[in-house]
Structure 1
Amino acid sequence: MPHLALYTFGVLKSPLADPAPLTRELYDTGEAVYRKISQHPGYLARAEAADGDRGSHFEADWGAWGEFAVPTWYGKGRTVETTALAATLSLWTDLRPAFDAIYTGLHREALNRRYDWFERTGHPGYVFWWVDNDVIPTWQDGVSRLEHLHDHGSAPHAFTFHHSFAPDGTPARIKGMAAGSA
Structure 2
Amino acid sequence: MPQLALYTFGVLKSPLADPAPLTREFYDIGATVYREISRHPGYLAHAEAADGDPGVLFGADWGAWGEFAVPAWYGKGRTRETTALAATLSLWTGLRPAFDAVYSGPHRAALSRRYDWFERTGHPNHVFWWVSDGAIPTWREGVSRLEHLHDRGPAPHALTFHDPNVGGATL
Whether TM-score is above 0.5 comes out as yes
Give the conservation status (yes or no) of the 8 Å contact 1:67–1:139: yes
User: Partner of 2:70: helix, strand, or coil?
Assistant: coil
Q: Write out aligned runs for 1:155-174 (5 A).
A: 155-165=155-165, 169-170=167-168, 172-174=169-171
Structure 1 residue runs of 5 or longer lacking an equivalent are 175-182
Within 1, Cα distance between the matches of 2:9 and 2:73?
11
User: Partner of 1:17: helix, strand, or coil?
Assistant: coil
Match of 2:114 in 1: 114
Structure 2 residue runs of 5 or longer lacking an equivalent are none
Within 2, Cα distance between the matches of 1:77 and 1:116?
20
If asked which structure has higher relative contact order (CA below 8 Å, sep 6+), I would say 2
- TM-score, structure 2 normalization: 0.98
Task: Percent identity, please.
Answer: 78
Bigger helix fraction: 2
User: Partner of 1:109: helix, strand, or coil?
Assistant: helix
- TM-score, structure 1 normalization: 0.92
Match of 1:151 in 2: 151
**Is 1:100 aligned to residue 100 of structure 2?**
yes
Letter in 2 for 1:112: S
Letter in 2 for 1:97: P
| Runs of 4+ residues deviating >3 angstroms | none
Within 1, Cα distance between the matches of 2:35 and 2:165?
28
Deviations along 1:149-171, one digit per CA (max 9) or x if unpaired, are 001111101010111148xx42x
Within 2, Cα distance between the matches of 1:124 and 1:99?
16
Match of 1:51 in 2: 51
User: Partner of 1:18: helix, strand, or coil?
Assistant: coil
Aligned length: 171
